[in-house]
Amino acid sequence: MSYAGPEFESPQPRRPRRRPLTLALAVLVPGALLGWLLYEGVGGAADSGGGTTVAVGKVTSTAPPTTSSTTADDRKPPLPLKGKVVVIDPGHNLTNFRHTAEINRKVDIGTNRKECDTTGTSTNSGYAEAKFTLDVAHRLRTLLEKQGATVKLTQDADRPYGPCVDERARIGNRAKADAVVSIHADGAGAGQRGYHVIMPGRVHKGIADTRRIVAPSATLGKRIAADFGRATGTKPANYVGNGTGMVTRTDLGGLNLSTVPKVFIECGNMRDSKDAALLTSAAWRQKAAQGISEGIVSFLHG
């Protein structure tokens, strides 16, 4: 038997009540979002030093400013001869012939005594060796300075005669030169053609001592001989050096008294008509300067 109990009405579903928190969030969230966007756009941009700029409804980006202390000069490759000192010794002097007593005076070169200087030679048409050597020296100086070298000349037509061979050596020594090249042209017989480089031999006598410079001078001479031949298209001398273009001597004061690497170069024979045609050509003299320059650069870079 069952008991139903008193009758009740069926329960009605409860209508949800709108809570105040929900309403508050609905109002506050959009406002908070708008405020955050404005903060990030204004405050964030200020903090970043110009990075990202944000506007309501639109975001734009700008690249951050860059600063650099590097200049165009800093980006240039270093000059190969920067910090190097080269002394160029243009042989003889155009006005030596007016000072015969002075240039004939004997000076000590260690192994013996020799004339202070000579007048040099010339082509059959009268183009003087001293004029040739100074012209090539000027061209060579320009090329070396463009490479960054400090260049000094033993004379620049700025004195009445000389300097004497012992003073020429001292100029290179005082400059603490990394390389010294004495420029000449020979006065051999007709038919004797070509260039040759003269290097110091081993001398240890009197005021001369070349022992420390023989080896580096030989390297300098080989580099110049090779590059000179290539640049000028000429061959080593056919009358000295056994076709090598290399000669060693111990009777030249300019070499004996040097304490820094030094060589002489006889660029050709002024008394041979074919060589003379080259030596009197400005275009060829530029090639000669280029060849000597390349040899010096090669030597100084090891």
Are residues 259 and 87 in contact, defined by beta-carbon separation less than 8 angstroms? no
Alpha carbon distance 86, 3 (integer Å): 130
Q: Would you mind telling me the total number of residues written for the chain in this entry?
A: 302
**How far is residue 27's CA from residue 205's CA, in Å, rounded to a whole number?**
108
Q: How many CA atoms lie within 13 A of 214 on its CB side?
A: 12
Contact between residue 299 and residue 177 where contact means Cβ atoms under 8 Å apart: no
In DSSP terms, which residues pair with 236 in a beta bridge?
195
Look up 266 and say whether it is catalytic: yes
Is 137 strand, coil or helix? helix
| Residue 120: both structure tokens together | 């040099």
The one-letter amino acid code at 257 reads L
DSSP, collapsed to helix, strand or coil, labels residue 14 as coil
Whole-angstrom Cα distance, residue 236 to residue 150? Answer: 30
Tell me how far apart the alpha carbons of residues 253 and 103 are, in angstroms, rounded to a whole number.
14
Q: Work out whether the CA dihedral 146, 147, 152, 153 comes out positive or negative.
A: negative
Q: Which residue has the tokens 């004939």?
A: 104
* Residue 56: how many other CB atoms lie within 10 Å: 9
Q: Could you say which of 102, 115, 167, 266 is catalytic?
A: 266
Give the DSSP letter of residue 267.
E
Alpha-carbon distance of 212 to 156, in angstroms, equals 29
Helix (H) or strand (E) holding 24: helix 20-39
Task: Give the catalytic positions in this structure.
Answer: 266
